[in-house]
Chains A and B, each alone.
Chain A
Amino acid sequence: MTPRVTNHIAEILLSIENVSLSFGGVKAVAAVSFDIRKGEICAIIGPNGAGKTSMLNIINGFYHPQQGRITFKGVTRSKMRAYQAAAGGIARTFQNVALFRGMTVLDNIMAGRTLHMRRGFFLQLLRFGPAQTEEIAHRHRVEEIIDLLRIQSIRKTIVGQLPYGLQKRVELARALAMEPDLLLLDEPMAGMNVEEKEDMSRYILDVNRHQNMTIALIEHDMGVVMDLSDRVVVLDHGIKIAEGTPQEIKTNQAVINAYLGVAH
């Protein structure tokens, strides 16, 4: 894969300014600032407990930071509930897969479309006229995503029965079905073998390049991170210790210290 030249003057989609979050006495995130620009893949990395997932939870409204400002698509918000963030165009996947385990793959992905369904409740009840047309349109969009991620054969399978790697893919499909402006991926490759990781990397790049989707991801596999991302933000103990292109991060002394430790 050839590294892309990042467009540093691209429009800022999400801006995190001086955000802090603590649980009781534990500082999960301390005064972190960074931007995510339109169309890029931004990786958030760091050792365990660095505050990466907390950061994602702040962005999609699960956690409310005690300090700081978050500006998304030019709108600054203080407190936003998770479903409002979703309605605003932020989709995400989870570190340990959060799917609707008792429903089929298709229903899971359709659930991602709920925000786009507009037709009245009673028309849906009767499956009549515009509601039917709408449902067909949504199914069509969902089928495109199913094709893209090559999960045609498991369309009608109950999600709980699928192996982990496929569940991760279904979760990505559901997030894509939301047609978000910003896609957050929490360790999309965790627990996968090399082949599955390559597939997943390809899907992520496809989505980024062909649909021009902005992606922020957390990942531990440095090979994957360096190949995929345009920019990398490094957190350690809740503090941002570095930010830059993969090349810059590879040679950054603070990052090397955080990962390998320093002699005291």
Chain B
Amino acid sequence: MGLLYQIFLDPFVQMGSAPDLLVQTLWEGLVAGVLYSLVALGFVLIFKASGVFNFAQGIMVVFAVLTLIGFYELGVPAFLAVVLALAVMLVLAFAVERLVLRPLVNQSDNVLLMATFGLTYFLIGFGEFLFGGDPKVMISDQLLLPRGAYQIQMLGGFVQLQKLDIAAVVIASITVAALAVFFQKTRIGLALRAVADSHRAALSVGISLEQVWVIVWFASGIVALMTGILWGARSNVSFALQIVALKALPVLILGGLTSVPGAIVGGIIIGVGEKLGEFYWGPLLGNGIESWLAYAIALVVLLVRPQGLFGEVIIERI
């Protein structure tokens, strides 16, 4: 009885008795969730347009933001450095298309997946060669990211909102919304979906695979840079940052690999679920459940909906 009470009743009693803490937890979950969505979005973009699970997404985040800091350290003004880092991501997109994807047209998805493994290790080595392996400090102030926090008095207590978190939520939401519209409403969006579905058919209606791939890899490079800036500002920038990609996996499973809205909703569910679980149910299990809870949530969803909450239904006629 005692255990059942602890699992099913006590957490809710706690939530009710300290609503300010609940709001604080929900807010932190939301912020984490939006950032997860942003990482997941990088995967979804490339998966939608080429059917490839881009293993290199994590390292692209690190590489993009290290490039930004690298330019800044060379004395380039911060905002110009952002533009230059974007230019580097565009060059990377062209290089990936020309050197990795084009020779592998019409190969199976597994071949392309393995190619992204290769790309990952190349970028790790190349990144360390260019920028060294030491952690770097994010240039938050120079990029005018706000510091400090708002204290809001509510519900008989205080809720603290970090200004950086608010900025992150706003920036990430705008990006996500822009990309969602891009995919659903434009000719290029239709072309991207067509390429993802069948290379052969897309070519036959006059869609240029080269162009489409450069566009998606560049778009996902932009997302990588923004992810890097927003995550980097919360800790610092090192190669360890690429594990944020692992955080995106359960989000992708939950939301579906092919869905932009899925990445958003999945990210928020995972973010909020993690924080609530950690705060209210964590003590029961000796804490530290944040690291695996997301996967547990994703597994349950997989049992019920193998294509994720929003993924395209997988149809195989026999």
Residues of B with C-beta under 8 A to A117: 187
B190 touches A111 (CB 8 A): yes
Q: Confirm or deny: B201 has a beta carbon within 8 angstroms of a beta carbon on chain A.
A: yes
What's the dominant secondary structure at chain B's contact region?
helix
A88 and chain B: residue at smallest CB distance: B206
- Looking at the complex, which one of A62, A111, A125, A175 makes contact with B182 (CB distance below 8 Å)? A125
Chain A residue total in the interface (Cβ 8 A)? 33
Residues of B with C-beta under 8 A to A262: none
Distance to closest chain B CB from A82 (angstroms): 4
- Looking at the complex, which one of A101, A111, A158 makes contact with B205 (CB distance below 8 Å)? A111
A101 touches B208 (CB 8 A): no
- Looking at the complex, which one of B182, B198, B204 makes contact with A101 (CB distance below 8 Å)? B198
Given the complex of chains A and B, what is the CA–CA distance between A91 and B194 in angstroms? 16
A100 and chain B: residue at smallest CB distance: B197
Given the complex of chains A and B, what is the CA–CA distance between A98 and B317 in angstroms? 14
- CB-based A-B contact count at 8 angstroms: 90
Distance to closest chain B CB from A233 (angstroms): 22
A98 touches B198 (CB 8 A): yes
* Known contacts A121-B186, A121-B187; A94 and B205 CB within 8 A of each other: no
A98 and chain B: residue at smallest CB distance: B201
* Known contacts A101-B197, A103-B193; A125 and B186 CB within 8 A of each other: yes
Residues of B with C-beta under 8 A to A110: 190
Given the complex of chains A and B, what is the CA–CA distance between A160 and B317 in angstroms? 8
Contact flags A91-124 to B (C-beta < 8 A → 1, else 0): 1101000111111000100111011010001001
Given the complex of chains A and B, what is the CA–CA distance between A103 and B195 in angstroms? 12
A86 touches B203 (CB 8 A): yes
Residues of B with C-beta under 8 A to A92: 204
Q: Which of B206-245 contact A (CB under 8 A)?
A: 206-209
Q: How large is the interface on B (under 10, 10 to 19, 20 to 34, 35 or more residues)?
A: 20 to 34
B197 touches A114 (CB 8 A): no
A134 and chain B: residue at smallest CB distance: B187
B209 touches A100 (CB 8 A): no
Q: Confirm or deny: A64 has a beta carbon within 8 angstroms of a beta carbon on chain B.
A: no
Q: Confirm or deny: B176 has a beta carbon within 8 angstroms of a beta carbon on chain A.
A: no
Q: Confirm or deny: A168 has a beta carbon within 8 angstroms of a beta carbon on chain B.
A: no
- Looking at the complex, which one of A81, A100, A121 makes contact with B201 (CB distance below 8 Å)? A100
Q: Confirm or deny: B145 has a beta carbon within 8 angstroms of a beta carbon on chain A.
A: no
Residues of A with C-beta under 8 A to B191: 111, 114
Q: Confirm or deny: B181 has a beta carbon within 8 angstroms of a beta carbon on chain A.
A: yes
- Looking at the complex, which one of B187, B198, B208 makes contact with A99 (CB distance below 8 Å)? B198
Given the complex of chains A and B, what is the CA–CA distance between A110 and B189 in angstroms? 12
Distance to closest chain B CB from A115 (angstroms): 4
Contact flags B253-273 to A (C-beta < 8 A → 1, else 0): 000001000000000000000
Q: Which of A123-143 contact B (CB under 8 A)?
A: 124-125, 127
B313 touches A158 (CB 8 A): yes
Given the complex of chains A and B, what is the CA–CA distance between A125 and B208 in angstroms? 20
Q: Confirm or deny: B200 has a beta carbon within 8 angstroms of a beta carbon on chain A.
A: yes
A94 touches B200 (CB 8 A): yes
Q: Which of A62, A81, A87, A114 has most chain B Cβ within 10 Å?
A: A114
B200 touches A98 (CB 8 A): yes
* Known contacts A103-B193, A121-B187; A114 and B206 CB within 8 A of each other: yes
Given the complex of chains A and B, what is the CA–CA distance between A243 and B317 in angstroms? 40
Given the complex of chains A and B, what is the CA–CA distance between A86 and B205 in angstroms? 6
- Looking at the complex, which one of B185, B190, B194, B204 makes contact with A94 (CB distance below 8 Å)? B204
Distance to closest chain B CB from A133 (angstroms): 14
Q: Confirm or deny: B315 has a beta carbon within 8 angstroms of a beta carbon on chain A.
A: yes
Residues of A with C-beta under 8 A to B194: 100, 103, 111, 114
Given the complex of chains A and B, what is the CA–CA distance between A158 and B197 in angstroms? 12
Q: Confirm or deny: B188 has a beta carbon within 8 angstroms of a beta carbon on chain A.
A: yes
Residues of A with C-beta under 8 A to B128: none
Contact flags B81-104 to A (C-beta < 8 A → 1, else 0): 000000000000000000000000
A114 touches B205 (CB 8 A): yes
Given the complex of chains A and B, what is the CA–CA distance between A209 and B55 in angstroms? 52
B258 and chain A: residue at smallest CB distance: A102
Given the complex of chains A and B, what is the CA–CA distance between A127 and B202 in angstroms? 24
Distance to closest chain B CB from A170 (angstroms): 11
A161 touches B198 (CB 8 A): no
Contact flags B296-318 to A (C-beta < 8 A → 1, else 0): 00000000000000001101010
Q: Which of B186, B187, B204, B317 has most chain A Cβ within 10 Å?
A: B204
A99 touches B201 (CB 8 A): yes
- Looking at the complex, which one of A112, A121, A160, A174 makes contact with B315 (CB distance below 8 Å)? A160
Contact flags A134-178 to B (C-beta < 8 A → 1, else 0): 000000000000000000000000101100000000000011001
- Can you name 8 A-B residue pairings with CB atoms under 8 Å? A86-B203, A98-B204, A100-B193, A100-B201, A125-B181, A158-B313, A160-B317, A175-B204
Given A81-B208, A101-B197, A114-B206, 19 extra CB contacts under 8 A: A60-B204, A62-B203, A82-B204, A83-B203, A83-B206, A91-B204, A98-B200, A99-B197, A100-B193, A103-B197, A111-B191, A111-B194, A111-B205, A114-B187, A114-B205, A121-B188, A124-B187, A160-B315, A174-B201
